[in-house]
Structure 1
């Protein structure tokens, strides 16, 4: 076990070095990411300048929601998105078979050998915006509220990584699964807004089948005392438990998909 951990840490170190080989280009790309997502938030700010509130959420509250959503996604996707998106390519080319003979989990190798530090731009923007929003929002902070916020971010991070893992693992069954990421991001973009402004059917989907609302407006809304559709008073506990629960579901799906895998030739 210790030897395997050392190998995985070495893989992470090697991958980070390769990404940082051209540091100027790396940080220029991160700056572009900050500008890109900053422009998205600027659009929300423009709406608030005209209408003052959005679904009962004011500007600092929406800033907290946006930063929470971006931070949780960035942390979760750094451990999963690019790596799991590439499973389809590995399966089609037949190179996934080589991972099955390595002395540790194919999932662990894929994740740690491709740990994406490119999300640091997202994290910088989300962290700075969250720090401002925490100070600006009209909310009486306490130790329990701060602990809830940290726990909710961790749960949302796990939930994001779990869903992406399940999408990637589906390639082991269907060979192609990357089209599912388009659906994922279509719903994910909706979660930077309060859940209550969306149609009822979309609300149900974002809480159940594609529970991305649990990575944004549900935990933040529960903490701020906002009314949460469908979940009501259960919103806070559900948001905390969703991440670990979906990790277990993703583990089961990975084992099932691995059992169905038949190689590139079917």
Structure 2
């Protein structure tokens, strides 16, 4: 079965990429617009720092590393999940999700890889360029260990992002309607481009526990740079490393539970 999946997945991805690249000019113009959009967000942070010099004790290069880390982790995780799982609500509502259940393939794998979103290329380009500048500019002595920690926590944050989005989308299998939960997700996600310590205690707790998006940004980056992390303290690094794998297991359990509750288009 695994060999069957490994043979089919590249074909699904290749067909989807070809369809998205049919109009290449429009595709890359849209990516350029993404770079300008998120670039303007960071420019706003830069304006704040020009006036106040630091934000929660973070300098501009440190905030650049935080912003780029958050954006890169999100774009990599969402490319494998967001549009695909957002559209699951419509598949369930119209009853077309039932057609996936009769395919000799995992419905989740088919959804994810047949809709792999290369539209996040603009996010990745901006985040990678900004991260490169931040790494060279931040007042920090890099080592093999710190680089390894940065890469490992980035992978963990990517997994966590995909897991949370998967859980939100899977809820449609039980409730039919679940896309309103994405509004809550992105509301909190926008907060995580800033240091955790600038927020009130209630928001800090929420961003670490119920909506653990701080684990995709200021917690791993703060632990890397030796910042004081609210609530977690010295546990920030280990928690950031473990968060992704743990939430992937939780999302798998949630997907299976939601699938078991799914009653089909006929109710």
Q: Deviations over 1:112-147 (max 9, x none)?
A: 000000000000000000000000000010000000
Find the aligned partners of 1:131 and 1:264 in 2 and give their Cα distance. 49
**2:104 is the alignment partner of 1:103:** yes
CA distance in 1, matches of 2:8, 2:208: 38
Equivalent residue, structure 2, for 1:53: 54
2:251 maps to which residue?
250
* Counterpart for residue 194 of structure 2: 193
Structure 1 position 104, deviation (Å)? 1.4
TM-score by length of 1: 0.99
Q: CA deviation at 1:8?
A: 1.6
Aligned partner of 1:143 in structure 2 is 144
- Pairs aligned (count): 266
Residue number in structure 2 paired with 1:158:
159
- The answer for the alignment partner of 2:231 in structure 1 is 230
- CA apart distance, 1:148: 0.1
What does residue 206 of structure 1 align with? 207
Q: For residues 226 and 6 of structure 2, what CA distance do their matches in structure 1 show? A: 42
Alignment match, 1:179:
180
Q: CA separation in 2, counterparts of 1:244 and 1:203?
A: 22
SS of alignment partner, residue 56 of structure 2: coil
Q: CA deviation at 1:5?
A: 1.8
Match of 2:4 in 1: 3
For the pair 1:88 / 2:77, whether they are aligned, the reply is no
Three-state SS of the structure 1 residue aligned to 2:192 is helix
Give distance in 1, aligned partners of 2:119 and 2:249.
27
Structure 1 residue 108 displacement after superposition: 0.2
CA distance in structure 2 between the partners assigned to 1:236 and 1:81 by the alignment: 27
TM-score (norm 2): 0.99
- Residue in 2 that maps onto 1:114: 115
- Aligned equivalent of 2:260: 259
C-alpha deviations, 1:67-111, integer Å up to 9, x for none?
A: 000000000000000000000000000000010011111000000
Query: In structure 2, what is the Cα distance between the partners aligned to 1:166 and 1:138?
Result: 38
Q: Structure 2: which 5+ runs fail to align?
A: none
- Measure, in 1, the Cα distance between the counterparts of 2:217 and 2:209: 14
Determine the C-alpha separation between the residues in 2 that align with 1:4 and 1:75.
21
The match for 1:133 is: 134
Specify every segment of 5 or more residues in structure 1 that has no aligned partner in the other structure, as ranges. Answer: none
Q: CA RMSD in A?
A: 0.5
Whole-Å separation in 1 of the counterparts to 2:47 and 2:266: 53
| Distance (Å, rounded) in 1 between the aligned partners of 2:9 and 2:77 | 18
- Alpha-carbon distance in 2 for matches of 1:49, 1:264: 56
State the secondary structure of the residue aligned to 2:37: helix
